[in-house]
Structure 1
Amino acid sequence: MKKRTLWITLAASVTSFLIGYFAACLVRSEPNRELDEHREQVETTDYSFTNVSVLCWVMTSQENLFSRAIHITQTWGGRCNLTLYVTEGSPNRPFPGIVLTLPVGKGRNELWMKTRAAFTLIYERYYADYDWFMKVDDDTFVIVDNLRYLLASKNTSEPLYYGFSFRHPQFNLDYTSGGSGYVLGKEALSRFVKVAYDESVCPSGHSVAKAAEDLMMGLCLSAAGVRVGNSLDSQGRIRFLVFTLDNFIDGNIGDWLPRFIAHNITTGIDCCSSYAVSMHYVQPSMMYLLEFLTQHLRLASESKDHNYQVNGTQIPI
């Protein structure tokens, strides 16, 4: 009983944090300098940000397809132009998404091999059809509209990739977190594939990075001349969240994170961009809460089209 009460209290706390954060973002009435500055950047491009095409692939496993990945199919997964679910084994029953099965082993030590094989196969099959290629974990929530909004002012022909930036002191390397997702443009993906199986610059494994696919990805991309691009908003706030939103709001980000980040971060209600792209370590139930908050919750004051009905008479808000 005590355990159940603890979980209920924790769920209520997390929910209140999330609702408070999104409400604060929605009700701010002062001019949005970030929106104005970014809109100027986007309007200099040849197309609307809604036309940016993105292939998303989800790192999952045979055992997690129906406990984790399936919830992505019911929430944000359908908003990418194409979403693939990459596993090491075929599902044992019908799955409501496109499953890409690779001949790799199970477990964390195989994540790098799975990543390398997935990006290579995606390059061979889909390179010509999409502008950007994003990898995420099966417990990541992506706000795809905001992803496109970020990428609209970026050039897919530049050797850059985007995500939450880590800096590894041993390798003197900037790279991106795999959990919150990273996104490669055409040039970055093309360069990666050309060196992906060159063991001299992109080894199958490393004593330090064997279980860290994001670090191995960073080492290989760096060897190919691909750099981490700036994904911070105009106020220096992060868009890719390596933890859940409430972790950043309440400052529960651990002691290790500040030692491995490539830029300053803050905590509290202004921790993160109003145009956040992704959040990691999201439980299935929270996927649906985030889906509601980002896709369905609206303020009546946002539009003059909203009306109350009183005794059959429409009264504008």
Structure 2
Amino acid sequence: MRGKAKMMTEGTSFVKGVMLGGMFCLVFTLFANTEIRGGSGLRSHEHHHLKAPNKEELLKLPEAKRLELSLTIRVLCLIMVTPKEIGYWASAVETWSKHCDKAVFYSPETIKIFESVSLATADKWIQTRKAFQHAYENYKDNYNWFFLVESTTFAIIENLKFFLLNKDPEQPFYVGHTVKSGDLEYVESSSGVVLSIEALERLYRILDDSAKCPEKGSLLWKMSQDKELAVCLKYTGVLADNAEDDEGKELFNSKNINTLVVEAMSKNPNEVVEGCCSDVAITFDGNSPNHMHVLMYGVYRLRPYGHTFNDALLFMPPVGSDND
């Protein structure tokens, strides 16, 4: 009996050892996959700061050249919406999205109130993949910049076009407000993600490669859609760049104007505007539907009577649009 008990004890220890060994191998494999996915074997990438064009330099160009440049930038807006937040959806439809060359709304499910592309999933990362895939397959020949943004974000498309003016869409650009997580640098989707046609094409080519860009990550924990996108793009040599004006101020903001002003007042009450926001800011996130309409009024409708603007560029509204 004692011999049998000893054998049972030894057998139990052996099983435990096998299980622990198996778990160790699993964890080791997952971390190995993480390292492989995080490093593509391509050049190392330091934090890049992409600047908006210099307005004074633009004014030196002939007017015909400036007009030609402004017409070459074609922006497709990919707006992620949810039926549960119909007020945000309605505000995006009624306000800034009218200034996109074309706006396509993507929803996790079919809804009849507004026109949208149903992605048939609640998973944020799969939504992002499907939206970019749909955009490439349907619009790659008509647009050269692809702007993915959430319904809580207000965007000034003319400022986006101004920023993109000296950027070649045939180069792999992945731009917005960058955040660093370990060795991975990614763009926050809350403040908007911009891909050039070249970057989108590279992403599209690996979407079906489960080893490089899986729908479900190979980790024990789930990464955000922002990080998953950055990892897939990094495999293709496309790396995140932070967008700034010529003074180094952020162009893509993950906070609303009210929050940014309050923060600026607390830090330096004598220079609230200078410490808050760029004159050519592109996005502000965290807005309520009412805030979106207030921003629309301030950005596009309010004008000092008799004042003549001396902008270097004129971005014409899309044909057939009813933008303000």
Could you state the TM-score of these two structures normalised by the residue count of structure 2? 0.70
Instruction: State whether residues 68 and 138 of structure 1, in contact with CA within 8 Å, keep that contact through their aligned partners in structure 2.
Output: yes
Instruction: State whether residues 177 and 253 of structure 2, in contact with CA within 8 Å, keep that contact through their aligned partners in structure 1.
Output: yes
Give the equivalent residue in structure 1 for 2:190. Answer: 179
Instruction: State whether residues 239 and 278 of structure 1, in contact with CA within 8 Å, keep that contact through their aligned partners in structure 2.
Output: yes
**What is the alpha-carbon distance in structure 2 between the residues aligned to residue 164 and residue 40 of structure 1?**
30
TM-fit CA distance, 1:212: 1.4
Q: Give the direction of change, closer, same or farther, for the CA distance of 1:103–1:237 in structure 2 (3 Å limit).
A: same
TM-fit CA distance, 1:63: 2.3
The number of residues matched between the two structures is: 248
Q: 1:149 aligns with which of 159, 162, 173?
A: 162
Give the equivalent residue in structure 2 for 1:163. Answer: 176
Verify: 1:239 aligned to 2:258, yes or no.
no
TM-fit CA distance, 1:160: 1.2
Q: Give the direction of change, closer, same or farther, for the CA distance of 1:114–1:42 in structure 2 (3 Å limit).
A: farther
Q: Give the direction of change, closer, same or farther, for the CA distance of 1:210–1:39 in structure 2 (3 Å limit).
A: farther
Give the equivalent residue in structure 2 for 1:281. Answer: 286
TM-fit CA distance, 1:248: 2.1
Q: Give the direction of change, closer, same or farther, for the CA distance of 1:193–1:42 in structure 2 (3 Å limit).
A: farther
Judging by fraction of residues, say which structure has more helix. 2
**What is the alpha-carbon distance in structure 1 between the residues aligned to residue 113 and residue 298 of structure 2?**
29
Q: 1:297 aligns with which of 289, 299, 302?
A: 302
**What is the alpha-carbon distance in structure 1 between the residues aligned to residue 245 and residue 57 of structure 2?**
10
TM-fit CA distance, 1:36: 1.6
Q: 1:269 aligns with which of 264, 268, 273?
A: 273
**What is the alpha-carbon distance in structure 2 between the residues aligned to residue 100 and residue 60 of structure 1?**
10
Give the equivalent residue in structure 2 for 1:101. Answer: 118
SS in 2 for 1:129: coil
TM-fit CA distance, 1:287: 0.2
**What is the alpha-carbon distance in structure 2 between the residues aligned to residue 208 and residue 303 of structure 1?**
59
Task: Structure 2: state its 5+ residue gaps.
Answer: 1-52, 265-270, 310-324
Give the equivalent residue in structure 1 for 2:129. Answer: 116
Instruction: State whether residues 161 and 226 of structure 1, in contact with CA within 8 Å, keep that contact through their aligned partners in structure 2.
Output: yes
Query: Structure 1 counterpart of 2:70, which letter?
Result: F
**What is the alpha-carbon distance in structure 2 between the residues aligned to residue 79 and residue 208 of structure 1?**
42
Give the equivalent residue in structure 1 for 2:80. Answer: 59
SS in 2 for 1:84: strand
1:154-176 superposed Cα distances (whole Å, 9 cap, x missing partner):
1100011110111112xx12211
Instruction: State whether residues 163 and 240 of structure 1, in contact with CA within 8 Å, keep that contact through their aligned partners in structure 2.
Output: yes
The residue correspondences of 1:11-26 to structure 2 (distance < 5 A) are none
TM-fit CA distance, 1:46: 8.0
TM-fit CA distance, 1:68: 1.3
Query: Structure 1 counterpart of 2:308, which letter?
Result: S
The residue correspondences of 1:13-92 to structure 2 (distance < 5 A) are 34-37=54-57, 47-64=68-85, 66-91=86-111
SS in 2 for 1:115: helix
**What is the alpha-carbon distance in structure 2 between the residues aligned to residue 208 and residue 141 of structure 1?**
35
SS in 1 for 2:286: coil
CA RMSD of aligned residues (A): 2.5
TM-fit CA distance, 1:51: 4.6
TM-fit CA distance, 1:94: 3.2
Give the equivalent residue in structure 1 for 2:205. Answer: 194
Q: 1:128 aligns with which of 141, 162, 169?
A: 141
Query: Structure 2 counterpart of 1:247, which letter?
Result: T
Instruction: State whether residues 191 and 254 of structure 2, in contact with CA within 8 Å, keep that contact through their aligned partners in structure 1.
Output: yes
Q: 1:218 aligns with which of 230, 234, 237?
A: 230
Q: Give the direction of change, closer, same or farther, for the CA distance of 1:142–1:52 in structure 2 (3 Å limit).
A: same
Is the radius of gyration larger for structure 1 or structure 2?
2
The residue correspondences of 1:249-260 to structure 2 (distance < 5 A) are 249-251=261-263
Instruction: State whether residues 58 and 66 of structure 2, in contact with CA within 8 Å, keep that contact through their aligned partners in structure 1.
Output: no
Query: Structure 1 counterpart of 2:205, which letter?
Result: K
**What is the alpha-carbon distance in structure 1 between the residues aligned to residue 243 and residue 68 of structure 2?**
20
